[in-house]
Structure 1
């Protein structure tokens, strides 16, 4: 699976701890992240992560572009709901794209925990079926 990892500044440590805790699962997948978040996770876990620009500089939009061309399977985005974000329109666009393209999205650690266990069990096979249908049709 192709998994995007994003975190607002106040949630970066939480995401690093989360990825560290589930490192063996994440190590089996292709990882993408916005700039600072990705670099911090790489430094802490040694995982290979494709890093885009930081969120405010267009990283959210770069991840959104992958969603729009069916190149991402899951998004884990630890949002800070208590702090105004200068790039909030970009964040909203990313969340909208996840809904439009049926991309599972976890915006907090509780949802991410459920999602990572689903990934481990292989519960996201419906994405493979969708891809096969598109290739045949």
Structure 2
């Protein structure tokens, strides 16, 4: 696979996902970083987005609930270049019936080289990084080259 450099914009599209037992941690995190997050476009799986919006007043585009297809919607947006940063508070202590969806979402985020935070410590570091407020380049698969080679 060939790669090209594409920029992540200064105003990020931030996807927020949290499993049931991690939703309160996500809400607390969003509340702590409200000032920073309101500068960016937020989207989330349905239940998580609704709870964040209600608790923080942040505007959040709500997709379907994760188990009903919201994880796949986010994955599609990542593939289309419409998500720049994924904050995914997954629960390492609970078995999940939609575990394949979780793995697929993390895989597609890795393929398209977007920053992923899976807990509040990594999310804190990323949202407070100087790169959060400015554009920077990242390597992504060169899909057009891939199509030509096929």
TM-score in same-fold range (> 0.5): yes
Residue number among 94, 102, 124 corresponding to 1:91 in the alignment: 102
User: Which gives a bigger RCO, structure 1 or 2 (Cα 8 Å, sep 6+)?
Assistant: 2
Runs of 4+ in 1 over 2 A off after TM superposition: 119-124
1:77-135 alpha-carbon deviations (Å, 9 max, x no partner): 001011011111011000000110001100111110111101675365225x97xxx9x
Distance in 1 (alpha carbons) for counterparts of 2:98 and 2:132:
35
C-alpha change, 1:104 and 1:110, in structure 2 (3 Å) is same
TM value normalised by structure 2: 0.81
The structure that is helix-richer by fraction is 1
Q: Which has the larger radius of gyration?
A: 2
- TM-score, length-scaled by structure 1: 0.89
Unaligned stretches of 5+ residues in structure 2? 1-11, 145-150
Q: Which residue of 2 aligns with 1:20?
A: 31
- Alignment RMSD, CA only? 1.8
After the TM superposition, which residues 6-85 of structure 1 pair with which residues of structure 2 at under 5 Å, given as runs? 6-85=17-96
Q: Which runs of 5+ in 1 are unaligned?
A: none
